[in-house]
Amino acid sequence: MARKYWKGLEELKETTEFIKHKENEFPTQQTVEAFLSNDKLDETSTGRRDFLKFLGFSVAAATLAACEAPVTKAVPYVVKPENVTPGMATWYASTYYDGASYASILVKTREGRPIFIKGNKDFGLTQGAVNPQIIASILGLYDSARLIGPTENGKLVSWSSVDSSISKALKSAKTVSLLSNSIISPTLQKQIDEMSAAMAANGQILNHIQYDAISYSAIRQANEQNFGAAIIPSYDFSKAKTIISLGADFLGTWLMANQYVQQYGLTRNPDSKWMSKHFQFESFMSLSGSNADYRGMIKPSEQAAVLSFLIKGLGGNCAVASTLNTPTKSIADQALKSLKSSKQSSLVVCGSNNVSLQLLTNQLNQLLGSYGTTIDLTNDVKLFKSEDAKVIKLANDVISGKGPDAMLFMGVNPVYSLPNGEAFGKALKKIKTTVSFSGFADETASLCSYVCPDHHALESWLDYQPTNNHYAIAQPTIRPIHNTASVIETFSVWSGKSIRLGKDSSTAYDLIKSNYSERFPLGDFAYSTHNSCETVPGNLNVLTPFKNGVLGKLPSAGALEVVLYQKGAIGNGQHASNPWLQEMPDPITKATWDNYITMNPVEMKQQGFVTTYDQEHGLNLATVSVNGKKVTLPVFPLPGQALNTVGIALGYGRGANGEAIGKAAFQTKEYGGHDLDEKGGLKPIGANVYHFVSTENGNLQFDTTGSLAKAEGMYAIASTQIHHTVMGRHSIVRETTLPIFTSKGKEAYNPAHTLQKLNKEGHHEDVPNSEFDLWDAHPVEKIGHRWGMTIDLSSCIGCGSCLIACQSENNVPVVGKDEVRRGREMHWLRIDRYFASDEEATIGQRKDKDTFSYDKAEIAAENPKVIHMPMMCQHCNHAPCETVCPVLATTHSNEGLNQMTYNRCIGTRYCANNCPYKVRRFNWFEYPSYKKFTEVNPAQDDLGRMVLNPDVTVRTRGVMEKCSFCVQRIQSTKLVAKKESRMINDGEFATACSDACPTNAIVVGDWNDFKSSVYSSSKNDRSYQALEEVGAKPNVWYKVKVRNEDNELLSSLQKEKPVAHHEGKKAHH
């Protein structure tokens, strides 16, 4: 049988079709003409001409792709937009509000992208004060985890689709709850009100509840009882000669801290007529407590007794017991003395959210006559309107299945921040429609059926009314990066008043502008936008006279009292994915990337916890139980923590279920990548302790009681400082008291270093260090510019704004927890924090030179004094780093700067070893690309990279870097002055740190300009140079910290020298 060969199954089976076409080798006999004349051809997407275009393009693309390096082109504008000049920064005045912090800001944009935020010193409530969170929020704009558009059940959808489904859902809902943070935007409030009215007309209920994770509701309630209005008054710390704070961290996170910190700074200048006296009674050592002149360690339950003691001492009536322990009483006595002398120029604030404590505080302020002087009830604060009782009821309703038909979440994250957030989150699916406006698929948003992401604050138009008489505007500084929409527009669309116009929509702008016109009929919106604010005339509260309130339950005492506090960087947790903030050392503990249980080391030793830690030695873990809920965290030794109390920071443990809140919010591994738990889930940083928050009289309480048990294991702590005292070294930090400062001469509190020299007569003579010199002087004195800086340790509160501003300005890489633990953080500017030891009369001043023990000096006192010392390159005129570099990579400029030439550096690190201030930072790895830093360093992210300052080089591995005095700013200031043919004006140039300082502790300028403020500041009696005896001749001066306290011991040590008699000389003659 002959074999049969076949080409296809058709041939094999000999189908009719096959037989039919068997003879035709080419199936269609169409001519080219016929093919081209086919009309349908035009309808196809790829026409003949297009084909040629594609062909051409493919050839070009292939050619380009074959090139060795990717071609990066700077494309010039065809039509240059107004106000945008490549290489020139454009600044926009705006306003920042995130539900917790408020500030008037200036945003720097370069080529259309915002890269830097600083405080607006000319306009607004906050007078230029900003906190680290606000400065760092610029990085949040470029977080790659931000939602890029609206989602439905986690899937990206179009705005038209979510709008129609949500509108439909809202129409069918009987009750709708809107849970928002405190709304201070009049336009947004109006949209909510209009929607509410429209729904009411339909027989529906829109229940708007405002909720702050950190609530101050007790202040409002106390004022309601005392003055008939549930308000938070405006406090004016700048008028307060005596400040008494009970656990209120008014310099860090309490209420309008950005306003208070600036006011407080004004009262801390010992050179002015008066200086405030600050008493702090607290359990956890807060930023405010670390700056207090007197600090009492009390348990939260003892606050009432302190208030009662002061009320009684001022002749008031108080039913609360006022027994205090001896150390507290001695401080309370001092406080009483001070209050009696300052009377109505006093201010008492209390951080507790217990109504009774706030009533006592009000009573004390009333006794002192503070109302009308330091407390302004007529111009109240519109922030922090949390209605705790309603929130708790709503949450309980939802959990028990009695929730509304639809819920909207705006600026809140209750699943994370509610005490029963977890249960609330589980119950959310019982609600038919849930909508979040969050920019991230966070704990709450990820459980919602719809997420309609709001613009980032820097992308949107908003108006604010932070206080009664103040109106502020926030303007966008960049076209929205993603497909997000302003909530103002969203509400307007859902109410049927507007249509969705996409991300370039002007709906919000129009609404805000028309609101503005209603309010300020004669106003110019453009002008107000330029200033960012406007005063609302005559809008003041009229209040009933003070009426005593009824005291309810006071915080109860417990064997262990637990204080839940906020860190300056992390706050309530909404910025947890911001690596700059995570890596910012806590002002007091200097720990990064974690929360922990703070406990007094004295107590820790008794309980067998280790009290020292370093790179390789971690801390013991312990479990804190509150109301049956447990959290296991390391126990951190914090001197100044009241005995029998522990503190734990809120705001940690974000993304416990791996929610996409940003890659920096999770723990990373030693060699890169996220650290995963046994189930393969992401590990959050720290632990969430919001479930420890209890309620009292419907108010959320952040002080509670619980118990602590040692747990198995040790935990590595990434701290930037592992030694805590200054070891009695007087040439590093200098401190004195106001009485000494005002009554004695400079040599008492700020003696110059001297060395002995033979005089002409052959006798020894003490002469200043400056007369001895190994080297020729650099030609910087009195020639051209000489950039200098003074840092006033009296004004510096250690908040860390300068550190974050420096990081933002100078592209300082983030290195992550593991590298910080190894002592390799890259911050160009750090804030050294020293605790006093029992060997010192005050920090840096030995009690007794003969009996001084180094061993004991290493241990901080139980309730130590604290000093914050910003430390950066001192730009020494005789820089030890410069002489040792073999390749001259670090040299001195003729303007007095110690400059670092990155591309000349070969990385021997000799300069860093020889730097007495240890301010040089080495690039241990290639931070912009090494895998270890992918999760943490924004420079490794396509979007995150946008935040980099184009004026500053991103450093490669193996080179040294350090503070440059923001040389890029110096250069641009010089250029501007040169173009205008004039000298640089004093104050025209500011470094990022001095710009950011809320208390103006840092002054920079041209030291060769003898009229400059930096020159006069450096000639102040308090000015000294750190480690002067080393002879490095820095261009940075520090100013002696003056504490407004009485310190007999210090007074006996800081003596004026008897008028210099030259005994030898006399004898000779």
Partner 1 sequence: MQKEAAIREPLILGHKSYHDVTEDVCRPIEDKAPRMWYVLFGIALIIALYGIGCIVYLLGTGIGVWGLNKTIGWAWDITNFVWWVGIGHAGTLISAVLLLFRQKWRMAINRSAEAMTIFAVFMAGLFPLIHMGRLWVGYWVLPLPNQFGSLWVNFNSPLLWDVFAISTYLSVSLVFWYIGLIPDFATIRDRAKKPVSKKMYSILSFGWSGGAKNWNRFETVSLVLAGLATPLVFSVHSIVSFDFATSIVPGWHTTIFPPYFVAGAVFSGFAMVQTLMLVMRKAMGLEAYIHTKHVEYMNIVIMVTGSIVGTAYITELFISWYSGVEYEAYAFLNRATGPYWWAYWSMMTCNVISPQLMWIRKLRRSLLFTFFISIVVNIGMWFERYVIIVTSIHRDYLPSAWSMHYPSHIDIGVYIGTIGIFFVFFLLFARYFPVLALNEIKTILKGSGQSYKEAPDYHKHH
Query: Which residues contact partner 1 (rule: CB under 8 A)?
Result: 614-616, 721-727, 729, 732, 819, 822-825, 830, 832-834, 854, 869, 871, 880, 883-888, 904-910, 912-914, 916-918, 920-926, 930, 957-960, 1027, 1030, 1032
Could you tell me the smallest distance in angstroms from the CB atom of residue 167 to partner 1? 55
- The answer to whether the beta carbons of residues 833 and 864 sit under 8 Å apart is no
Quick one: 723 or 982, whose CB is closer to partner 1? 723
Could you tell me the smallest distance in angstroms from the CB atom of residue 878 to partner 1? 10
Quick one: 846 or 969, whose CB is closer to partner 1? 846
Could you tell me the smallest distance in angstroms from the CB atom of residue 958 to partner 1? 3
Burial of 1014 (0-12, 13-18, 19+ CB in 10 A): buried
Count of other CB atoms within 10 angstroms of residue 295? 24
Could you tell me the smallest distance in angstroms from the CB atom of residue 614 to partner 1? 5
Quick one: 885 or 996, whose CB is closer to partner 1? 885
List the end-to-end C-alpha distance of the chain, in Å, as a whole number.
Answer: 144
Tell me, letter by letter, the H, E, C secondary structure of 72-110.
Answer: CCCCCCCCCCCCCCCCCEEEEEEEEECCCCEEEEEEEEE
Could you tell me the smallest distance in angstroms from the CB atom of residue 907 to partner 1? 2
- The answer to whether the beta carbons of residues 416 and 633 sit under 8 Å apart is no
Amino acid type, 240: A
Quick one: 739 or 958, whose CB is closer to partner 1? 958
Could you tell me the smallest distance in angstroms from the CB atom of residue 901 to partner 1? 9
Q: How far is CA 916 from the centre of its chain?
A: 29
Quick one: 230 or 939, whose CB is closer to partner 1? 939
R_g of the chain computed on alpha carbons: 33
- The answer to whether the beta carbons of residues 842 and 819 sit under 8 Å apart is no
Could you tell me the smallest distance in angstroms from the CB atom of residue 956 to partner 1? 8
201, two tokens: 């007309």
Could you tell me the smallest distance in angstroms from the CB atom of residue 934 to partner 1? 14
Whole-angstrom distance, CA of residue 264 vs CA of residue 253: 14
Quick one: 229 or 1030, whose CB is closer to partner 1? 1030
Whole-angstrom distance, CA of residue 492 vs CA of residue 511: 9
Backbone angles phi, psi at 598, to 5 degrees: -90, 135
Residues whose CB falls within 8 Å of the CB of residue 579, separated by 6 or more in sequence, listed in order: 139, 664, 814, 816, 936, 937, 938
622, two tokens: 């312990």
Could you tell me the smallest distance in angstroms from the CB atom of residue 848 to partner 1? 15
Quick one: 704 or 719, whose CB is closer to partner 1? 719
- The answer to whether the beta carbons of residues 819 and 825 sit under 8 Å apart is yes
Beta bridge partners of 835: 725, 866
Closest CA to 284 of 352, 339, 354, 346: 352
Quick one: 546 or 910, whose CB is closer to partner 1? 910
Quick one: 130 or 718, whose CB is closer to partner 1? 718
Determine if residue 101 is left, alpha or beta; phi over 0 gives left, psi from -120 to 50 gives alpha, anything else beta. Answer: beta
Quick one: 489 or 586, whose CB is closer to partner 1? 586
Whole-angstrom distance, CA of residue 908 vs CA of residue 806: 25
110, two tokens: 């370069």
Could you tell me the smallest distance in angstroms from the CB atom of residue 446 to partner 1? 36
Length of the chain: 1069
Whole-angstrom distance, CA of residue 566 vs CA of residue 573: 9
Could you tell me the smallest distance in angstroms from the CB atom of residue 955 to partner 1? 10
Please name the helix (run of DSSP H) or strand (run of DSSP E) that holds residue 1003, with its range, or none.
Answer: strand 1002-1006
Quick one: 337 or 824, whose CB is closer to partner 1? 824
Count of other CB atoms within 10 angstroms of residue 337? 14
Strand, coil or helix: 50: helix
Closest CA to 910 of 879, 874, 875: 879
Quick one: 918 or 1055, whose CB is closer to partner 1? 918
Whole-angstrom distance, CA of residue 225 vs CA of residue 546: 9
Could you tell me the smallest distance in angstroms from the CB atom of residue 558 to partner 1? 36
C-alpha dihedral, 175 to 176 to 182 to 186, nearest 10°:
-100
CA distances from 274 to 271, 791, 1003 (A): 8, 20, 21
Whole-angstrom distance, CA of residue 410 vs CA of residue 408: 6
Quick one: 60 or 888, whose CB is closer to partner 1? 888
Quick one: 46 or 883, whose CB is closer to partner 1? 883
Backbone angles phi, psi at 21, to 5 degrees: -95, 10
Could you tell me the smallest distance in angstroms from the CB atom of residue 803 to partner 1? 14
Whole-angstrom distance, CA of residue 411 vs CA of residue 179: 8
Whole-angstrom distance, CA of residue 546 vs CA of residue 552: 18
Quick one: 121 or 729, whose CB is closer to partner 1? 729
Residues whose CB falls within 8 Å of the CB of residue 1, separated by 6 or more in sequence, listed in order: none
Could you tell me the smallest distance in angstroms from the CB atom of residue 290 to partner 1? 15
Could you tell me the smallest distance in angstroms from the CB atom of residue 320 to partner 1? 42
Whole-angstrom distance, CA of residue 176 vs CA of residue 180: 13
Quick one: 776 or 1063, whose CB is closer to partner 1? 776
The CA angle 652-653-657, to the nearest 5 degrees, is 155
Quick one: 278 or 821, whose CB is closer to partner 1? 821
- What sign has the CA pseudo-torsion 574, 575, 577, 581? negative
Quick one: 18 or 910, whose CB is closer to partner 1? 910
Could you tell me the smallest distance in angstroms from the CB atom of residue 276 to partner 1? 27
Could you tell me the smallest distance in angstroms from the CB atom of residue 164 to partner 1? 54
Q: How far is CA 582 from the centre of its chain?
A: 9
Could you tell me the smallest distance in angstroms from the CB atom of residue 862 to partner 1? 19
